[in-house]
Each structure stands twice: as structure tokens, then as C-alpha cells.
Structure 1
């Protein structure tokens, strides 16, 4: 009776763990996608009527005006502009406010389709989901400072591109002359040089500022493993990484001002970043702030530099860098080294186990440069991991094989002492000791692979190098799920499961089974079939269902993860097969071969 109770508890615990995992990784994300789509539709329905040319704008950090929803085309036509054209960027900057607010990333596309448009990074204020950068000066009792409504004159240049800067100029009519030189490199970094000339008879005190602003919560579903929201490095002489997710940012309203020697502040998506980088030798005050404007969250990551006196007839100059682009690790590291930006490559969310995730990415990147394909790099990484753990795994598989070999003796002892559990356990322990068998050996290889699995999951999820990385055949994006599905015979039938009435959403999410998830389930089943069966019938039933359950659990995961785990299962099967043949233990592969060839079973 006690054994039955114990077995029932074990079964329930396993079932709960599997249910929670399935709910967390499959059902909950699907529900969030539906909620995000409904919220987006509701916002679109409730948006004010378009008002051409009317674009509200914050005058300086913390001073927001009402949000007016207009189209991108209307926003671009509302003010004079200067084009931006680089090998990596395309767009324009607005001469009204001298904002950088219109950018596309020409080297990245929205989807894997060849005709997919480039990724849109920044969009003008007034457009839904606006995201832009502005620069300027603040000062108490200094009239005529340029703001978001100020129209600057294009004094030099026509198109902003590498080696071809733009020079903007504004005179406030009260003795202050402002110039702004904007440069851009061939990647994602802008350099903004602001100068103010004091032609009045009195000294003034000004402080430079820079701000990245974004309107509204992202419409994409929230991913628990990826940080999206405020990001930066602030605090004292050694800035520390600051992270605030969008929902917490909206709930708490941001955070207090932080004094910092250099550092940086920005707003990040999964793959994209817009960040302000002040002079690293100066003390600044950085802050993440959220302002509610007509029901919309205005997320603001800004810094204000130290006040500086500009004497009569004098001039003050300030240089700010602005990053707007993809979080490519080598590019971030290069800027970090050249400009002395603290922890800039931490814009990639390496997670709390960064000490494991970073090296794994570097190793994966090395394999990529060798093979030229991240899919083959994952296969090579799997082999490398297996080689590291080979001595331990080999010893454990030998123990498992020995345990399978003594299975008949174990059954005899259980029958012989079925009425004396204490004696039965003692005899089993003696058998294990005599045959040098470790009954828990089979768990260890899998346990040691869990950190690798998590780190690879993190790498595939957060690094843009994996985005839209192809492998072979139908696999065109290692960071996405398997695009095939059993419900249309893997593309042989012209049928979209998502369009099926009533059950379309279920077939496209929870029951989506592609080729790789099925291969993963098959290899998991074969590997478990080569292991000794659990002594208890209830446990046996649990283990029999595990490959099926985990097939559904793993189906929504990135293809790259399934390639790793399936290939790892194959290597495990090969290793187990060699060991079982060496110890002359019958195994499923030999049984399948005998059945196919018609050879008789060996005489035992």
C-alpha cells in the first residue's frame, strides 16, 4: 500500500511538472498572442481621427504634449527633412526639432521572404508606436532654447551618409546661435556635435541632454526569457547595468534620477536598440521615465549633462553619440572598445547565467566561421559538448547497460521477496554492489546537459546572429519554430491549419507538430527504450508517455534547439548501442534489424 501511494505521488508530481511546462511554453504564449492582437485592434479602433500636419512633441525631457495618431506618410510630410543613406540605414531626420525619427535597417527584413520589407526601427512622433531620438539644451531662465517645434536651417550638406555630415543652424533672435553637426558611420552610430554661441551681453548656464522616446507598449507578445524595455549602464564612477521591462516601467513610472560618470541609456527590443551615449568623461544624470499621455505610455530614456557656464561672447560644445540599429555582438563590442562605453555589449540580454551563455555563443560563432552555417555550427557544438562529457556519460551508460543485463535477476528477487520489502531492498543493493551497477546513473548525462540546453536556448533567442539564419531545406530560420506541420502532411496538402474553423488556433499553436519535433520525439523514445525499465509499473507508464508529451512541449521551441537535442539523442543512441553490443545486451535497434532481415532472436 505504501509503495502504491508513493508511486501515485511520483506520477502526480511528474504530471504536474509536465502540465506546468506545457502551459508556460505553449498555452500561455498563445494566449498572449491573442491578447496582443485584440489590444492592438482595440487601440486602432479608439485612435483619434487623423489630423494632417498636427504632430505633438515633447519640448524637452518630461514635457509631453497630447498624442495625435496620423499615418507615417503624413508625419514625414509635416516637416522639412534631410535624407539618411548608409550601407546599413535608410530614412531621414526631421529639421523640425532636428530629431532622428525615421530609420529602416536595410540589412534586415521583417520575415524570411525575399520580398519582405526592411525592418522599421524609428518612426516619427504622432505615428502609432512612435520611436525617436532628440538632443538639445536645457537651462533655467534662458529664453529661446530650441525645442521639438523649432525648425532648423540646413546650413551644409544634403544627404547624411558616411563621410558626408549635415550642419544645422538655428538663431533664436535673442543673441543665441545654435549649430548641430550630425555624422554617421557605415554601421549604426551617429555622432551629434551641439554648439551654442552666446552673442548676448550676459553669461548663461546650460546643460546638454539627449533622450530616446517611445510611445505605447509593444504589440508583440512578451517573452519571459528576453529583456525588452529600458536598458543602460548608470551609477557612480563604475556604471552598472540597468534593466526595466516595459510592463514594470509602465507600472512604476520609471525610476529615480541616477548620477553617473559616463554610461548610457536606451530602449531595446529583442533584437534592436536605440541608445544615447553621452561624453564618457563627464558626470551626467540619467533616468528612465514613463508619462501617461491620453492613455498612452510615453517611455523616455534620457540623460542631462552637468550645467556649464557660457560667458558673453563665448561658446560651449557638447558631443553625444546615438546608436540606432541591430544588437550584433561584434559591432557592440567594437563601439564599446573605441568609445569606452561601459557594458555596451550587455545590451544583448545574456541573462543571469551570462558566464555560461557568452562562452557558448563565442564557441558557436567560431563553428559558424568554420562551416558558414549556424545549423552545422549547432551540430558541431553538440559534438563538442558530448566530447566534454564523454568520459562521464560513457561510465554512466556502461552502468545502465549492466543494470539492463541484470534485469532478470532483479525480477527474480522482487518475486522471491515480494512479501518482505526490507529483505528485497537489501538483496537488490547487494546485487547492485556485486555487479557494480548505479541505479540512478541514467539521469546524470541528462542533468549535465540541462545548463547547455538553457544557454543554447538563450543564445538562439536573444542573439540576432541566429535571426533568419537558414539551415537545410525547409529550415530557413533557426530562431523560429519548425514551419512544417503534420496537419497538412508537411506542406504536401494546400491547407493552412490556422484557417480551420473552431480548431484553427489550436492546430497552429498547441498541436503544431513539424518534422523536427517528431524526429525529436522518435529519438527520445528510442534512447529511453535502450535504458533499463523502471521497476514500478506506474513509473513505467509515465516514462512511456514522456516522449509523446515532450514532443508537444518542444514543438514551439526554436528549430535550432530541436536540432541540438535531436542530434544529441542520436549521439546518445549510438553510444548506448556500442556499449550494449560490447556487453552483449539485447537492444531495440538489433531487434528492429532482426525483424527487417528475418533473422531469429538469439537464444537466451
Structure 2
């Protein structure tokens, strides 16, 4: 008994620790908005920016390292002048004429918090601020990168979808550099970099573009949703590293021609698209670098071209800076950017996930409430899966019916295992029973329900969507905490603590316990104890999950209860067998 209790304590403790780690750190990334860099990673980044990449090529590019930026607060940086405003239906911000940087981008369609007076989500911010994140466009001339503190001249005061803006600068040798910015109505900015050589001698020119950011405000990389460097190279998705892993490597230059590359968070994306996005542009370097201090950069350096006196050069690069809205990303992919929709971490079950997301959007447009849409979606999927579940129950009932005959065969041929197996297979054939048919329905359902789970994690449509009463944001944990009587007791619980139990988590525990009660009772007393306590452990483990996910699980459990009750009514032999097994298990436990 002592050994069994010890085993039970060890198993449950391990389950609790593992479940908490998975739930908080991996399955719900916004539980911590800071990607923590390990000491090992920080040391590697500080020592080895530009260290060899994993494929053996140097992660350092012709753009080189950068000096430390002077610290400045955001308001001061944006009020310093030398800026061209950006104003589109979805974006607002400005271009910094110092360095030709797009370092001020806000997303009009999304608020920072659920509060009505919250400002829009800030994606880009100037260098030197608390969370620097920006794109820069420039040139390398005769092997030297032009300084980032040069001031460009603009031919307009505002960049809109109907009014492009061109930045111009002429150097001492008579070469004029131009960057023409145009923007569409969504999130794509096109930078056309051109050179006109009015000097007396030729020049070797390389246009470049880069995105630089901090990981301090990045969402945590997780199995369900990648956060970190991402791109498509040679038509293949590349996203193997988190920021910590990239820091340990010092950087990496993936193999193959780049179709696009950048950085992704759970809901946001910044990406550079060379040329037409089909990997057919001459590129000398396209990769990612760790700059130390939680700073990272993705470089896009085009091949060197000799521009003779009187000659010119033009190169297009697009910059995506915005939300990971699957409909918008798919439109850009249809327009020619290879696999741009893979910026969303669909994974293996994309064929199921995209139709589920479409159905979720459609239901939301009909009922006008995302929570109700999740409930209806769960009902529809459960309904579609019901014939499969019914087949599984029918197989279980058939197997239960032949159990006495099977036990008789096992006793009769206890000393002849080969004959025993032959007789059992003959029994299956005579009775028309397939022992695998009970497992097959479950295997078919797993991808569908996993796809539904991923949709609820990935869908930006769920962000800041209310349900009813106290649930104002389905993408965040249930804000009501039972342990402090919903705020009546004089202590507060951390929002992402497993002790912050809300009504949805309690409902999850209760409905899971009820589903366990309907299942056949385990004969082993240790297993009985584990199944008895499992629902309440899962209640604590899942408390920090997004309210939308808990709503799905609670609805799914309720439908499971209804489904099991109905199927037991259709197969009374199963219910009787389960009751008999439960009675035997209880008797064994008392004994």
C-alpha cells in the first residue's frame, strides 16, 4: 500500500508539473509576453554575433555589426521631426528620414488591451526605445555600407495608398539614391530602391533591406504557434528556431533562394519579400543574426551590380508589417508570394484547420458573438463525428458480448497460446467482430479535434472578443477567481496563476469528472484513485488557458456526456457491463 501511494504521489506530481508547464508556457504564450533568454544564450549572443550558422555558412552578412543605440523614450523619438506620416485604412505611423527607416507602425484594427480607451497595437518602434522594432532600407556602395544616420529628402509629407513618397539622397561622387515607398490598403509596403550614377566613374552597388527587433516583447515560441525567425526558402517553410536558439547559434543563413523572411509572433508578422516573392532575385545573403542583448536582425542583401557612369539600377522589396489575418495572407500568396500563408503555424492539419476557421468566422457573422460561435462550432463538429463515435460504441458492445466466450477459450487453451489465438480469431470471424474497429473511430477524430484546438490558438479573430457577463476577452484566461470570491476577499491572484480558478475551469473539472463516471471503472485501485483525482488536477492545470479554449472543452465535455448517455441507451449491454465492472472494482478496493 505504501509503494502504491508513493507511486501515485509521484505520478500525480509529475503530471501537475508537466501540465502546468505545457499549459502556461507552451499552449498559452501570452501568459508571459517576454521571451526569457537563458544565460547561456545571452553569453553566446554577446560573444558570437556572426558565428557560423547551422548549415556551415556564416551568419554574418555584408551588413556587419551595429553600434549600441542611444537610449530614448518613445514620445521623444517620434517628436524629433524628420518624419513622413503613414496613413492607411489599417496602418498609421511614420517613416524616419534619418536612415530611411520605417520605425513607427501602429495597427488601427487592434487595441493593445481589451479596454475601450486602449490605444492601437504598436508593432514598430524606433531604435533606442524600450522595444525597438523597425525596417531599414539602404545601399552598400563599393563594399561600404552607407551610415544609418544620413538624412534623406522626401517629396511628400504623407504616405497613403494613393500618394507614394520618394526619398532621395546624392553623395559626393554624384550618385543619386532613391527609395520610393508605396503602400496598399492592408499591410504591405513596397520599397523601390534605385540608383542613378551621374558621376565620372562606375560604382558597385548592393541594395539591402533589414528588420531589427528585440525579443523582450515577443510571444513565447510554442508547439502550436511559432514565435521567432521565419521564412520560406526554396519554396519550403523555415521556422526551426526560437529566439533563444538563434542566440545560441549566433545566427543562421538558411539554404535556398529566399521567397520571404522575417519575424513572427502569435498574432503579428514582419517580413521582407524580395522581388516578386518567387525566389528568382539574385541575393547575396538572406538570413538571421543575433546581435546580443535580446536584439535580432534579419538581413536581405542583394547581389553586387556594377553601375557605370550614366547607368542606373532598380530593385523592389516589399515589407509586410501587420496582423496574421489568414484571409489577407492568403490573398498575398495568391498574388504570387510563395507560401505566404504559412506565416501562420498551421502545421500538419492545415486541410482541416482552414475549413474550421472559415466555419468559425461564418458562425460569428451570423450570431454576432464569438463565444456562441465556438459553442455552435463544437456542436457541429461533434455532430459530424457522431456516426464515427456510434460505430466505436457498437464495436465496444460487440466486444462485450463475446467476452464470456473469449474467457472460456482462454481458460480451455491456457497452456496452448497459439491455439488460443487461433480460436479467438475464429470467434471474431464467426461473431462478425473487429477488435480494431473500436480504435479506428478515435484515430479519425483525433486530427479533427486537434485542428479545432489549433484554430482557437491561432485565430486572431478570437483576440479581445467578448462572450457574456464577466468574460471580456476569449483569448485571455477567465478573469473571475473563485478562491478570492470574485474579489470580495482582500487578496488578489496573479492572472496566469494555476490558483486563479475561474468558473469555466470549475465547469471543466465537473464535466470531466462526470464523463469519467460514465466510463468503465478501472479494476486497479491505484488507477481508480488516479481517475478520481484527475479531473480536479486538470481543473488547476487548465485554469490559465484562454477562456475560448476552456469554453470549447466544457462544451465538448457536455456533448460527450450527452453522447455517451444516448449510446448507452442504444447499447444496454455496455451499460450493464460497466455497472458490473464498477461493482467489482468497488468490492476489490474495499477488500
Report the TM-score when normalising by structure 2: 0.79
Q: State the aligned residue count.
A: 542
Distance 1:402 1:549, change over 3 A: farther
Partner of 1:157: 156
Q: What residue in structure 1 maps to residue 462 of structure 2?
A: 466
Question: Which of 523, 533, 547 pairs up with 1:535?
Answer: 523
1:316 has 2:318 as partner: no
Q: Is the 8 A contact 1:137 1:206 kept in 2?
A: yes
Q: CA deviation at 1:553?
A: 2.2
Distance change (3 Å), C-alpha of 1:569 and 1:299: same
Q: Within the alignment, does 1:186 sit opposite 2:174 as a pair?
A: no
Q: Distance in 2 between matches of 1:75 and 1:23?
A: 41
Q: Once the 2 structures are TM-superposed, how far is the Cα of residue 268 of structure 1 from its aligned partner?
A: 1.6
- Tell me the equivalent position of 1:381: 377
Which residue of structure 2 aligns with residue 511 of structure 1?
499
Write the deviation string for residues 7-45 of structure 1: whole angstroms up to 9, x where unpaired: 8899579636633532423576799968959999xxxxx
What does the per-residue CA deviation read over 1:55-91, in whole Å, with 9 as the maximum and x for residues that have no partner? xxx9982230123221112222445111111111111
| 1:247–1:38 distance in 2 versus 1, CA, 3 Å | closer
Distance 2:239 2:499 in 1: 38
Q: Aligned to 1:327, which of 309, 324, 327?
A: 324
Closer/same/farther in 2, CA of residues 401 and 115 from structure 1, 3 Å limit: farther
How many angstroms does 1:163 deviate by?
Answer: 0.2
TM-superposed CA distance for 1:219, in Å, is 6.2
Q: Distance in 2 between matches of 1:38 and 1:259?
A: 30
**TM-superposition CA deviations, 1:99-151 (whole Å, max 9, x none):** 10011111101111111121110011111221111112213257xx7531110
Change (3 A) 1:163 1:509: same
Work out the CA distance in 2 between the residues paired with 1:205 and 1:137.
Answer: 10
Deviates more, 1:120-129 or 1:569-578: 569-578
5 Å matches for 1:189-338?
189-218=188-217, 221-235=220-234, 238-256=235-253, 258=255, 260=257, 263-280=259-276, 281-292=280-291, 296-338=293-335
CA-CA distance at 1:511 after TM superposition: 1.7
Change in Cα spacing, 1:557 to 1:453, as seen in structure 2 (3 Å) is farther
Matched residue SS, 1:180: strand
Counterpart Cα distance in 2 of 1:226 and 1:81? 35
Q: Does residue 549 of the first structure (1) align with residue 537 of the second (2)?
A: yes
Deviation for aligned residue 1:92: 0.9
Task: Pick the aligned partner of 1:475 from 471, 474, 479.
Answer: 471
Q: Secondary structure at the match of 2:166?
A: strand
Distance 1:392 1:10, change over 3 A: farther
Question: Equivalents in 2 of 1:441, 1:544: separation in Å?
Answer: 28
SS in 2 for 1:527: helix
SS of the equivalent of 2:84 reads: strand
What secondary structure does 1:244 align onto?
Answer: coil
The structure 1 residue matched to 2:93, chosen from 86, 91, 94, is 91
* Structure 1 residues 323-354: Cα deviation after superposition (integer angstroms, max 9, x where no partner): 1111111111111222x111111111223544
CA contact (8 A) 2:214 2:296 kept: yes
1:135 partner SS: strand
Mean Cα deviation higher: 12-21 or 510-519: 12-21
SS across alignment from 2:113: coil
Q: Partner of 1:577: helix, strand, or coil? A: helix
Q: Deviations over 1:532-563 (max 9, x none)?
A: 32233332222222222222222222222222
1:392 pairs with 2:388: yes
1:81 aligns with 2:83: yes
Query: Secondary structure in 1 aligned to 2:77?
Result: helix
Counterparts of 1:256 and 1:579, CA distance in 2: 56
Q: Does 1:577 align with 2:576?
A: no
CA distance in 2, matches of 1:527, 1:314: 76
**Which residue is 1:47 aligned to?**
none
CA drift at 1:265: 1.4
Distance 1:34 1:334 in 2: 32
* Aligned residues: CA RMSD: 4.2
1:366-445 aligned at under 5 Å gives the runs 366-397=362-393
More moved, 205-214 vs 547-556: 547-556
Structure 1, unmatched stretches of 5+, are: 41-57, 414-419, 589-604
Distance 2:221 2:367 in 1: 33
Q: More deviation in 216-225 or 182-191?
A: 216-225
SS at 2:512 equivalent:
helix
Structure 2 runs not aligned, ≥5 long: 39-59, 577-591
For normalisation by structure 1, the TM-score amounts to 0.78
Deviates more, 1:510-519 or 1:15-24: 15-24
Alpha-carbon distance in 2 for matches of 1:35, 1:276: 24
For 2:581, the equivalent position in structure 1 comes to none
Structure 1 residue 306: deviation in Å? 2.4
Q: Is the 8 A contact 1:290 1:297 kept in 2?
A: no
Please give the secondary structure, in 2, of the residue aligned with 1:84.
strand
Greater shift, 578-587 or 325-334, is seen at 578-587
Q: Distance in 2 between matches of 1:96 and 1:549?
A: 56
Q: Which has the higher contact order (CA 8 A, sep 6+)?
A: 2
